[in-house]
Amino acid sequence: MTSAVVMAGCRSARRRDVALPALVRTIDDVLADWLPDQYCSGIAARLDLADGVLTWCNCGHPPPLLIRDHQVLDKAPERPEEPPMGTPRNWRTPLAGSTGRRWNRETGCCCTPTA
């Protein structure tokens, strides 16, 4: 149920074409309204295919793995983690924004699930 609510909040924000920090805040609000005792880790990302820049926000999730030529690259993109989505606002610091990184077309990305 939690992931369905998160995806509904994400789709709503994407339809309004908001920036990634605002998308995460929308998910926070939706979780607070519908499932106030639940939270969800995840990575919100946007890849601009024209210039190859990946922007992303990490919300309590392990960093993504970058894969090129069937090998995991040594350095995953890193940024400070934000609290999981759905964390009460008084526990949350303002979102630092998204991190941009030039993306090579031969590189894949895998966001590992948490157990």
Residue 112 in this model has a pLDDT that exceeds 60: no
Q: What is the pLDDT of residue 3?
A: 85
- Is the Cβ–Cβ distance between 98 and 20 less than 8 Å? yes
User: What number is the average pLDDT over the span 62-83?
Assistant: 73
Element (H, E) at 8: helix 2-15
State pLDDT tens for residues 21-67: 888 888 888 888 888 888 888 888 887 778 777 778 888 887 777 77
User: What number is the average pLDDT over the span 59-87?
Assistant: 76
Question: Which domains are assigned to the chain?
Answer: 2-110 (3.60.40.10)
Q: What is the 3-state secondary structure (H, E, C) of the chain?
A: CHHHHHHHHHHHHHHCCCCHHHHHHHHHHHHHHHCCCCCECEEEEEEECCCCEEEEEEECCCCCEEEECCEECCCCCCCCCECCECCCHHHCCCCCCCEEEECCCCEEEECCCCC
Q: What is the pLDDT of residue 114?
A: 44
Q: Which band of pLDDT confidence, cut at 50, 70 and 90, is reported for residue 2?
A: confident
